[in-house]
Amino acid sequence: MNYQQILDEIYKEAKVFKGQGELASYIPELARVDPLKYGIHLATIEGAEFAVGDSQEPFSIQSISKVLSLALVLPLIGEMLWERVGVEPSGNPFNSIVQLEYENGIPRNPFLNAGALVMADILISRFDDPKREFLQFVRRLAGNETIQYDEEVAASEKATGYVNASLINMMKSYGNINNEIDSVLDFYYHQCSIAMSCQDLARAFLVFADEGCIYGEDTRILKKAQVKRINALMQTCGFYDEAGEFSFRVGLPGKSGVGGGIVAVHPKCYSVAVWSPKLNKKGNSVLGMKTLELLTTKSGTSIF
């Protein structure tokens, strides 16, 4: 498979979609990003890497961070996690707080904001300096010591995060948050603010393609069953209420963020990250989805 040739083709063909979609507007800092940025990076488990466009420029990974958080939490507490967070798709974004009420403060899955807040609560309970631990973990996964939180993005999100505050208070009323609300939110906004490039993300997500082994190391940090669980969750819950559409068009487990990034994993084969900031109405990168659709079509690597 000549992945570089495929990426080059896609880069040309997909350009026509550059104008479509809108920048995320609810976080002021994100609205200032250059909307024409576009990069792709693909890393195989054999160690080959392929890239095109703005693939080395860091951007705000936002919800993509939830997968990394899950990869840190799951080995820590194991299956007990599922007593506090579910593993099923949620159906509808508007349902989030409704479901929290009906289901006694247990979020449907770890990729909903509510679910990620529970994972943040767990990390705070476990670590003396959870922000430092999380950053170190991400740096190690990506093999890049320069990865940083973006304090401006974190502050910007915190200042307008009323829905998240509503969710976490509801969960706290059901006893599913153990730490101070402000400290959990602070951690969560930092986690989401991490700036990574497509190269960083593709390398970091190799851990899910390569059965738990870290990029550039010989170490396995996740059991096979844990990798399977995380990939299955990305497949069914990774794209807000577009999980079904993404499954069809791309046919790989993946996760998107409102910063315009999408990462996808072809188990036992490769991981790929794409970045283009303009989003469709469901909050997923227009060009990013198109890129991955072309990639699996051209390479015949959809799992379906």
Binding site for a copy of itself (CB under 8 A): 86-92, 94-95, 97-99, 101-102, 108-109, 162-163, 165-167, 169-170, 172-173, 181, 227-229, 231-233, 235-237, 241-245, 247-248, 251, 253, 267, 302-304
Nearer to a copy of itself, 55 or 164 (CB): 164
User: Where does the chain show beta strands of DSSP type E?
Assistant: 39-44, 49-53, 59-60, 195-196, 254-256, 261-266, 270-275
Q: Is 240 annotated as a binding residue?
A: yes
Nearer to a copy of itself, 39 or 107 (CB): 107
Q: How far is residue 45's CA from residue 208's CA, in Å, rounded to a whole number?
A: 10
Handedness of CA 284, 290, 292, 293 (dihedral sign): positive
Nearer to a copy of itself, 233 or 294 (CB): 233
CB of 147 to a copy of itself, least distance (A): 27
Q: Is 38 annotated as a binding residue?
A: no
Q: Is 176 annotated as a binding residue?
A: no
Q: How far is residue 63's CA from residue 239's CA, in Å, rounded to a whole number?
A: 10
Q: How far is residue 129's CA from residue 277's CA, in Å, rounded to a whole number?
A: 32
Residues 301 and 269 sit within 8 Å (Cβ to Cβ): yes
Residues 261 and 284 sit within 8 Å (Cβ to Cβ): no
DSSP 78: G
Q: How far is residue 129's CA from residue 149's CA, in Å, rounded to a whole number?
A: 14
Nearer to a copy of itself, 32 or 224 (CB): 224
Q: Is 164 annotated as a binding residue?
A: yes
Q: Is 104 annotated as a binding residue?
A: no
Q: Is 258 annotated as a binding residue?
A: yes
Nearer to a copy of itself, 36 or 155 (CB): 155
Known binding residues for substrate: 63, 113, 157, 164, 188, 240, 258
